[in-house]
Structure 1
Amino acid sequence: MRQLLYNAFLPLCSSLSLKDIHAFGRGLGWLMWTALPARRKETTARIRDRLGLGERQARELARASFRHSACAFLELFHARYMDYRFLAERVEYENPELFARMCSSPRPIVGVTGHLGSWELLGGVLKCFSSKTDCQVVVRLPKDPALSDLLMHMRSQSKIRVLPHRDAAVSALGQLRGGGLSAFLVDHNCRRAEAQFLPFLGEVAAVNKGPAILALRAKAEVWPCFLLRLPEGRFRFVTLPCLDTAGLTGSRAERIESICRFYTDAVERMVLRHPEQWFWMHRRWKTRP
């Protein structure tokens, strides 16, 4: 039954313009805010405690986060329409020299980002500008098989291969050792066995060390990048300076921690810049040391 529902939902959302998707997303965000009082209260408290805000300001920021997160998930249905014309008309680049270096680098690249801004559209930028002939995106999939199939279908594009994170290690390492690019969302909560525990927004969080281990084994460059949502259907691509793991010293554990700390700090800086565009509903601090 759910498969039929998702199959009916797919052509409907895929036919919408980006403007319509954002209008739909704002409406969906309002509906979630209204219909999920427990999650609304939890998100507000999380923002208040992590950012040190008053109750009223935290509540307004939480409401904006609901809207932005709903828009971000629905932008999945527009990801395949990201082409050179779209990018030329709608995307501006912060640190364009770093963006050019990332796209032209002959080294293995681990791209890292978070659930911030328009993360579902990031693959379209990499597809158009990366010098790599084949880019991998490693994702966590929901437990619902029908929904997983839908997400895999929508995220897969020319030059973009999507891998479920549980089965990604061998393929991603081979991709990197061949000089390719593998991209990860690094602000998920994760299991204790997978975690490096580090401070994030003032509280210790479980940071997935899988991308760090792969980067270290492949001697890759780690590039943080983010696609922020601007008014009127425009976007800003932010590229931050990279970490060259080939130059790290210390024990293996110390180098892995350094890489984890590097990409965790990058996400934290961007969340503090644009807290309304981060996915605060996620239970980021669920796994404890």
Structure 2
Amino acid sequence: MIAYLIYLLLRGFHFFINLLPEGFALWLGRQLGRLVYHLDRGHQRVALQNLEIAFGQEKTKEEMRSIAKKTFQNLGMMTVEFFRIPKMNVITFKERVNIEGLEGALSLLEKKKGVLLLIGHFGNWELMGMMSRVIGNPIMVIAKPMKNNRWVDQFITKIRNAGGLEVISSIKAGRKVIQALSQNRIVGILIDQRAKRSEGVWADFFKRKAPTTPALAVLAMKTGAPVVPVFLIRNGFQKHRLIIKAPLELIRTGDIKRDVEANTQLFNDTLESMIRQYPDQWFWIHRRWERKRGTSHR
């Protein structure tokens, strides 16, 4: 009953936010982010703890608190933008988003091995799905199903589909991804959620070990598909930059286990570099780090 009520509230918010002019809707989203920062003490605490891990030796308490506040504001605006995706067209997207590096990325498809996108919960990662409509080719992404609320899960997936994405469940996704790459498609993989202890590679992230999914490295090594880092950065109130970087030079020594670990580290380093440039645009409210049993990683 509670799950369905949450779904109805989201539907109501979606309806309301799409009635408003875009500028006012974004302003409202930013104010909601500010409010949630003060009301949601749990996620505020997680954000500040994560910032202490990442920047405790580099930034003051006030600087880290400022980053946390801006993070919540960005998430509020991002939520508004996400719910408005179904009414966005390609022309509007191009007016809002300055796309950098698209030609180089599309030229990689000439190798007929597909392309793997390295993405994180950064800026407005959901808005990147609109690139499917820009290039006229549905990008595939892997998402964890919301097992505790199937109505919300279906609703969120429907919005993502409206942007042009093909969303597949993270459960047994490997075969589907390999098939998609064999069809020369583009597949995005998020690398910055804490992986299960039994499945993750313990790679450095801001000088502290973090269990990281090896999926991107395994798929890249197995298929030969290039790995292209992509980040959508908020660049003003209604503007964004979509930065499509050159493909990463992967490490291939022939030792599969070590290569997967080394490339997973490379991916973490790539994401960390962007976070250091735009610290208020990462998803600090996620518990990215945990302690490995019996070992300190400070």
The question of a shared fold, defined as TM-score above 0.5 by the shorter chain, is answered with yes
Q: Per-residue displacement from partner, 1:220-254 (whole Å, max 9, x unpaired)?
A: 10000001001130111112221265x72321112
* Alignment counterpart, residue 183 of structure 1, candidates 174, 185, 188: 188
Consecutive unaligned residues in structure 2, runs of 5 or more: 294-298
Q: Match for 2:28 among 24, 32, 37?
A: 24
Corresponding residue of 1:86: 92
**CA contact 2:228–2:247 (8 Å) conserved in 1:** yes
1:74-103 alpha-carbon deviations (Å, 9 max, x no partner) = 32213334443224322224xx4x431112
Residue equivalent to 1:100:
103
Unaligned stretches of 5+ in structure 1?
none
The structural deviation recorded for 1:72 is 2.1
Name the residue aligned to 2:261.
Answer: 257
CA separation in 2, counterparts of 1:174 and 1:287?
Answer: 36
Displacement of 1:211 in angstroms is 2.1
1:166 to 152, 171, 175: 171
TM-score when normalising by structure 2: 0.86
Match of 2:296 in 1: none
Is 1:218 matched up with 2:246?
no
Q: Aligned in 2, Cα 1:288/1:24: closer, same or farther, shift over 3 Å?
A: farther
SS state at 2:198 partner? helix
Instruction: Output the amino acid matched with 1:62.
Output: A
Residue 68 of structure 1 deviates from its aligned partner by 1.0
Match of 1:122 among 128, 152, 156: 128
In 2, Cα distance between equivalents of 1:198 and 1:269: 15
Deviates further, 252-261 or 177-186? 252-261
What are the superposed Cα offsets for residues 122-145 of structure 1, whole Å, 9 maximum, x if unpaired? 011243136xx3320112233322
Equivalent residue in structure 2 for 1:243, among 212, 229, 248: 248
SS of residue matched to 1:192: coil
In structure 2, the CA distance between the partners of 1:166 and 1:37, relative to structure 1 (3 Å rule), is same
Paired residues, number? 283
Instruction: Return the alpha-carbon distance in structure 2 between the equivalents of residues 126 and 198 of structure 1.
Output: 31
Residue 159 of structure 1 and its aligned partner are, at CA, apart by 4.4
Greater shift, 255-264 or 265-274, is seen at: 255-264
TM-aligned CA distance change 1:158 to 1:269, over 3 Å = closer
Residues 178-205 of structure 1, C-alpha deviations (whole Å, 9 max, x = no match) = 2111101111111112201111012111
Q: Normalised by the size of structure 1, how large is the TM-score? A: 0.89
Q: Deviations over 1:159-190 (max 9, x none)?
A: 42111212422211110122111101111111
CA-atom RMSD, angstroms? 2.2
Query: Which of the numbers 141, 144, 155 marks the counterpart of 2:145?
Result: 141
Distance 2:246 2:78 in 1: 25
**CA distance in structure 2 between the partners assigned to 1:18 and 1:253 by the alignment:** 48
Q: Which of the pair is proportionally richer in helix?
A: 1
User: 1: distance between equivalents of 2:277 and 2:199?
Assistant: 28
Aligned: 1:70 with 2:76: yes
1:198/1:206 contact within 8 Å kept: yes
Q: Which residue of 2 aligns with 1:227?
A: 232
Identity of aligned residues (%): 22
Distance 1:170 1:15 in 2: 41
Q: For 1:188 and 1:16, how far apart are their aligned partners in 2?
A: 33
Quote the Cα distance in structure 1 between the aligned partners of 2:249 and 2:199: 22
Q: Distance in 2 between matches of 1:19 and 1:46?
A: 31
**Aligned CA distance change for structure 1 residues 220 and 188 (closer, same or farther; 3 Å):** same
What one-letter code is carried by the residue in structure 2 that aligns with 1:263? F
Q: Structure 1: which amino acid aligns with 2:195?
A: C
CA contact (8 A) 2:141 2:165 kept: yes
